[in-house]
Chains A and B, each alone.
Chain A
Amino acid sequence: MTIQGWAMIALFAAIVIGLARPVGAWLFALYEGRRTPLHAMLGPVERGFYRLAGIDPNKEQGWRAYALHMLLFQLAALLFTYAVLRLQDVLPLNPRHLPGVGSDGAFNTAISFTTNTNWQWYSGEAAMSNLSQMLALTLHNFLSAATGIAIAFALFRGFARQKAGSIGNFWADVTRITLYLLLPICLIYALFLIASGVPQTFAASIDAMTLEGAKQTIALGPVAGQEAIKMLGTNGGGFFNANSAHPFENPTALTDFVEIVSILAIGSGLTWCFAKAVGNTKQGWAILAAMMTLLIAGIAVTYWQEAAGNPILHHLGVPGGNMEGKEVRFGIAASALFSVVTTAASCGAVNAMHDSFTALGGMIPLFNIQLGEIVIGGVGAGIYGFLLFAILAVFVAGLMVGRTPEYVGKKIESREVKLAVLAIAVLPLCILGFSALAAVLPAGLAGPLNKGPHGFSEILYAFSSATGNNGSAFAGLSAGTPFYNGLLGAAMWIGRFFMIVPILAIAGSLAAKKYTPETAGSFPTTGLLWVGLLIGIILIFGGLTFLPSLALGPIADHLAMIHGQTF
């Protein structure tokens, strides 16, 4: 580990914390449906969309209507994407003359992008036409991100409103978030990337002459536009297979740093937005403090492990940290930082191959995903997942102050507990349940590249990534088979919507409750004690659920490594 490495991490943390307030204030304006400076220009566009679709943005929806409209919208977008992928060979903008995507592959990819997962079983440049990338995939990068934030808004309204029957209007939320938040930032972001050397072109490829005098064909395409929303919307699906390790996706040290920061920008802002919504900014800082603590701890472990390197290689006379699978341009610190951040959020973009990390260095990204990606987390998904744990923490420990548990003025009763448990149980069900299937069925066993515990980690990572809608891969797993495409597709769908629907139900249930004013007798949900309690509950819940699987995967892998055992 180096001073420079830690300095970069410290600067990164400071910027993420610093972004909470400005981004949060912007989000809060959208949450409330207030005018922003951009309304002068984009207001007519917004109203045009509503008129076109025949939607009244002021018509409030109850949680059932909100959920139903959201689901129908996702389903329609899913079918559209499936059709584009299947038919890309006959559709325009296919300069590399790629064939249509197979049925299981298209099924998997359509779900993957709809659910903000961006799990990619394929190499982007070798399987997707420009139209598929721009229309089918980038479209979802925006819409899935906007949907996540909209769900978070709906949950915030549940906490903020009292005796209300509605939690907002799904269409208005998604339109406003896309139009006033995601598109403007991405426009500037993409221009910055283009200026840094990221291509944005319809040309298929460029020919280069290497030093050895060989001719090399390098794929090109409309990369910058997709790259911006890929990071900002915590989607993570790269234009190229190498994702952000590819020089055309991530050309400089500066773009690398900006890409990492942009993963967490909106998530950080949402903590502030939540706090404003419930009228107490301390609530937001408490949440952000708990998140940052977990984040920095994770970064520290991965950085430490990667910098320490592999003792087996040390014995073979290869000293130093673990550089396998890392971009030489970025080095260990930036790779460790990127990997922990991309899994803390549900991004899944990578600038290094997680499969090649040391066992414990790679366990942190895996554990981050298994916790539900709530450490700042994916746009919207991070905060609503985190609030589930806050509800549980309040319920378990809140009784200890001698009152019915309350969180930000709302009593937590059996309905909320039931729904929160239901939503959280999705994680072990899909991650452990599907991994268990893959670990015994021949079709599953055909997947992993490595033997021993590392192979198991590869399976576990794949299902964790799919269920958590992360999309990063431990690589090493040949997932492009009908078995994995189907099962991972199911995991992504369940992991996204079997969580969102209970959350909307919680929002509806909370909105209908009256507000209990805070007194000296109320359970304190600000301050260090609460931050510590939150961290404890998250680690105990997550740890207890996933420790057996981690013990048989990365931990066994690590112990084998330090004992010099190979498989």
Chain B
Amino acid sequence: MSTTSTSIFSAELVGPAIEQSFRKLDPRELIRNPVLFVTAVVALLLTILLALGGEGLSVGFQVQLVIWLWLTVLFGTFAEALAEGRGRAQASSLRAAKGDLTAKLVLPKDAGCEIVPAAKLQRGQVVLVETGDLIPADGEVVEGVASVNEAAITGESAPVIREAGGDRSAVTAGTRVISDAIKVRVTQEPGQGFLDRMIALVEGAERQKTPNEIALTILLVGLTIIFLIAVATIPSFAAYAHGSIPVSELAALLITLIPTTIAALLSAIGIAGMDRLVRFNVLAKSGRAVEAAGDVDVLLLDKTGTITIGDRHASEFRPLRGVGLDDLAEAALLASLADETPEGRSIVVLAQRDHAIETRALPEGAEIIPFTAQTRISGVRLEEALIQKGAVDAVLRANPTAAETAAATELRRITDEIARAGMTPLAVAKDGKLLGVIALKDVIKAGVRERFAELRRMGIRTVMITGDNPLTAASIAAEAGVDDFLAEATPEDKLALIRSEQQGGKLVAMCGDGTNDAPALAQADVGVAMNTGTQAAREAGNMVDLDSDPTKLIEVVGLGKQLLMTRGALTTFSVANDVAKYFAIIPAMFVTLYPGLGVLNIMGLASPRSAILSAIIFNALVIPCLVPLALKGVRYKPMGAGQLLARNLSIYGLGGLVAPFIGIKAIDLAVSALHLA
């Protein structure tokens, strides 16, 4: 994880956050956090009461109460401001990339270019970007090829190729063209570009409450109402006992009981969760997507790059009976010379090095047949012959006459042998005659087996997606330890698999880059688009990985879980805290009515006033103490839900019960030593 480790309480963040925390006292903003709003109202009420006088309590005590109540509110707004500040710091580096861009707008009828500010660009307009220029807006390359440095958004300095057509046509505002020139059609509305939206999200300006956050807020409001009833009825109960309770004490009880701790930290947790993803170079388009990541049940992982080391290597030529090894090698070489994929190059290398085939270039007039996802065949048409190379079934389908011969039977046998050994067979045919098979070998990444075992313990199923035939896929799947595989996968198959998993109530995550991945990315509950992918793919997914590393899907799930766990842990802690606060305040409050109730003062707090003050101070101070936890998230290790629950319940549940007894007692000792009450 590429974490820029800035200290949480660094001065350049804390200063503005303090200023912001006062601005956030604006009731219109504060009402978004109902519990803090109630706290502020109570604080205001006590401030007015203090000014009016006549509570019959010492002024010093009341002043302290009022101060701590206001501090409770301010700590809450500070936590949110600090989280936003951290997000903004992250965003500012992104924004610097954007700067004040200008664009060379291509005028119609070859009238040349006009320089306009990038902010004025409209969707559909075409701009020219030349060597050294920054790309002014998100768009699609419509003409030309260029190498682009996308370090501004990915941090990766190696340039990438962007060209018209195909899967590498999307360009992002703020990246720099370092060679050649391209024409780009703008695909964004002004101010709505990819970078703009990312910055807004990271800064928290466009933050919307996620479904789970809304539900939690409702619970907190419900608890507040219940405690409001519990506290508001006390005066009348006290009147029955011929006594009265000062308003300040009731206010103190109310504020300590309502869940101020989690309410104060709730939005900070959400912002920090998004922020952690950004530091990880993954941009979520919504907080909802991050939450969904925690719920994922099925991970669709592309074999190549995620499970195996990117590229397969040709390891062997297996000619059919009656075909010379060199004939096969030469045909394979010719079919692969134009194939720029690592696989294609490895075939060339194998033929030239191990079989001493001298051919270095395609003859004049050769016509290259490019690979498509539909035909799954590539090759070359020479003057004298047509050479095809591709998936075995695809080659057989393309040559129906050959498919009926004994050669086809032998081909299938060899194919099965290769596949069972976990290698990928590629059939080669020349003029409709089957020549033999190229065996491509996959190398499984180190450590993936352990990762998948880990995921299984967490209850997440892994499905390997591959274009390989079922036998090869099965062999690799078994070696890598995935739970299931989808072989010979077309984009349609992927979409169908996602739908059927979702039908069974599962949440599915996948990553993809091509335009043909877009429907599946959109259908998946968590769709991580690679930044190198097409604009369509990036629009369809709900997350974008700036590093274009498909392995990250696993970490994204972890980050989603961590966000939810942090919320749950702090809620549990907050609720469990109330028990100790009761034992501080109830005896203090009622001891004048029934002196016997003093036995409930099990902490042995010095005096009723000191008890109340200590509880309210603890209630306020616990917020800043928990800010680091809220921003960093609780420690997350992959394990089964039962273990996780036992672990977190003992830390945050039991801890939440015990910690305030210790904390309040300690504060009480300090308060009485300093004669504050």
Let me know if A194 is at the binding interface, CB within 8 A: no
Let me know if B568 is at the binding interface, CB within 8 A: yes
Known: A432-B229, A437-B236, A521-B641. A404 touches B649 (CB 8 A): no
Q: Do the beta carbons of A401 and B218 come within 8 Å of each other?
A: no
Let me know if B564 is at the binding interface, CB within 8 A: yes
Q: Do the beta carbons of B214 and A414 come within 8 Å of each other?
A: yes
- How far does the Cβ of A392 sit from chain B's closest Cβ, in whole Å? 7
Q: Do the beta carbons of B222 and A421 come within 8 Å of each other?
A: yes
Q: Considering only CB atoms, which chain A residue lies closest to B566 in the complex?
A: A399
Q: Do the beta carbons of A547 and B568 come within 8 Å of each other?
A: no
Known: A417-B218, A540-B578. A552 touches B641 (CB 8 A): no
Q: Do the beta carbons of B565 and A529 come within 8 Å of each other?
A: no
Binary interface encoding of chain A residues 404-420 relative to chain B, with 1 for a CB under 8 A from any of its CBs, else 0: 10000100111001100
Chain B residues with CB below 8 A from A395, complex form: 215-216, 219
Q: Do the beta carbons of B459 and A521 come within 8 Å of each other?
A: yes
Q: Do the beta carbons of B565 and A401 come within 8 Å of each other?
A: yes
The number of inter-chain residue pairs (CB within 8 angstroms) is 219
Q: Do the beta carbons of B233 and A555 come within 8 Å of each other?
A: no
* Docked pose: A440 CA to B460 CA in angstroms: 59
Of the stretches A7-15, A230-238, A308-316, A509-517, the one at the interface is A509-517
CB contact list, B196-250 vs A, under 8 A: 211-212, 214-216, 218-219, 221-223, 225-227, 229-234, 236-241
Binary interface encoding of chain B residues 548-571 relative to chain A, with 1 for a CB under 8 A from any of its CBs, else 0: 000000000000111011011101
Let me know if A396 is at the binding interface, CB within 8 A: yes
Known: A520-B640, A521-B297. A540 touches B576 (CB 8 A): yes
Binary interface encoding of chain B residues 278-319 relative to chain A, with 1 for a CB under 8 A from any of its CBs, else 0: 000000000000010011010000000000000000000000
Q: Do the beta carbons of A559 and B599 come within 8 Å of each other?
A: yes
Let me know if B395 is at the binding interface, CB within 8 A: no
* Docked pose: A184 CA to B243 CA in angstroms: 55
Chain A residues with CB below 8 A from B562, complex form: 402
Interface of B is mostly: helix
Q: Do the beta carbons of A524 and B645 come within 8 Å of each other?
A: yes
Let me know if B257 is at the binding interface, CB within 8 A: yes
- How far does the Cβ of B526 sit from chain A's closest Cβ, in whole Å? 13
Q: Which of B215, B230, B582, B596 contacts A556 (CB 8 A)?
A: B596
- How far does the Cβ of A453 sit from chain B's closest Cβ, in whole Å? 7
Q: Do the beta carbons of B586 and A397 come within 8 Å of each other?
A: no
Let me know if A365 is at the binding interface, CB within 8 A: no
Chain A residues with CB below 8 A from B599, complex form: 559
Of the stretches A86-94, A165-173, A265-273, A423-431, the one at the interface is A423-431
- How far does the Cβ of A517 sit from chain B's closest Cβ, in whole Å? 5
Let me know if B458 is at the binding interface, CB within 8 A: yes
Q: Do the beta carbons of A524 and B575 come within 8 Å of each other?
A: no
Q: Which of A413, A437, A527 contacts B642 (CB 8 A)?
A: A527
Known: A429-B229, A456-B241, A544-B230. A400 touches B596 (CB 8 A): no
Q: Which of A459, A520, A536 contacts B457 (CB 8 A)?
A: A520
* Docked pose: A270 CA to B636 CA in angstroms: 38
Most buried by B among A519, A529, A556: A519
- How far does the Cβ of A520 sit from chain B's closest Cβ, in whole Å? 4
Interface of A is mostly: helix
Interface size on B, residues (CB 8 A): 73
* Docked pose: A439 CA to B593 CA in angstroms: 15
Chain B residues with CB below 8 A from A520, complex form: 456-459, 640-641
- How far does the Cβ of B38 sit from chain A's closest Cβ, in whole Å? 15
Q: Do the beta carbons of A456 and B568 come within 8 Å of each other?
A: no
* Docked pose: A514 CA to B257 CA in angstroms: 36
Chain B residues with CB below 8 A from A356, complex form: none
Q: Which of A162, A392, A445 contacts B219 (CB 8 A)?
A: A392
* Docked pose: A514 CA to B116 CA in angstroms: 52
* Docked pose: A432 CA to B225 CA in angstroms: 13
Let me know if A545 is at the binding interface, CB within 8 A: yes
Q: Considering only CB atoms, which chain B residue lies closest to A414 in the complex?
A: B215
Chain B residues with CB below 8 A from A516, complex form: 297, 505-506
Q: Considering only CB atoms, which chain A residue lies closest to B506 in the complex?
A: A517
Q: Do the beta carbons of B295 and A404 come within 8 Å of each other?
A: yes
Q: Considering only CB atoms, which chain A residue lies closest to B648 in the complex?
A: A400
Q: Do the beta carbons of B237 and A548 come within 8 Å of each other?
A: yes
Chain B residues with CB below 8 A from A404, complex form: 211-212, 291, 294-295, 564
Q: Do the beta carbons of A521 and B640 come within 8 Å of each other?
A: yes
Chain B residues with CB below 8 A from A26, complex form: none
* Docked pose: A531 CA to B636 CA in angstroms: 24
Let me know if A403 is at the binding interface, CB within 8 A: yes
Binary interface encoding of chain A residues 513-541 relative to chain B, with 1 for a CB under 8 A from any of its CBs, else 0: 01111011111100101000100100010
Query: Mind listing 13 A-B residue pairs with CB under 8 Å?
Result: A401-B568, A403-B564, A421-B223, A425-B226, A435-B233, A437-B236, A521-B641, A527-B642, A544-B230, A545-B227, A546-B230, A549-B233, A556-B590
Q: Measuring CB to CB, which residues of chain A are less than 8 angstroms from any residue of chain B?
A: 162, 392, 395-404, 409, 412-414, 417-418, 421-422, 424-425, 428-429, 432-433, 435-437, 439-440, 445, 452-453, 455-456, 459, 514-517, 519-524, 527, 529, 533, 536, 540, 543-549, 551-552, 555-556, 559-560, 563, 565
Given A516-B297, A552-B237, 13 more A-B residue pairs with CB atoms under 8 Å apart are: A397-B645, A400-B568, A402-B564, A404-B295, A414-B218, A421-B226, A428-B230, A432-B229, A437-B236, A521-B458, A533-B653, A552-B241, A555-B597
Q: Measuring CB to CB, which residues of chain B are less than 8 angstroms from any residue of chain A?
A: 211-212, 214-216, 218-219, 221-223, 225-227, 229-234, 236-241, 257, 291, 294-295, 297, 456-461, 504-506, 560-562, 564-565, 567-569, 571-572, 575-576, 578-579, 582, 586, 590, 593-594, 596-597, 599-600, 636, 640-642, 644-646, 648-649, 652-653
Task: Pick the 6 closest A-B CB pairs, nearest first.
Answer: A399-B568, A521-B459, A402-B561, A421-B222, A559-B596, A519-B459
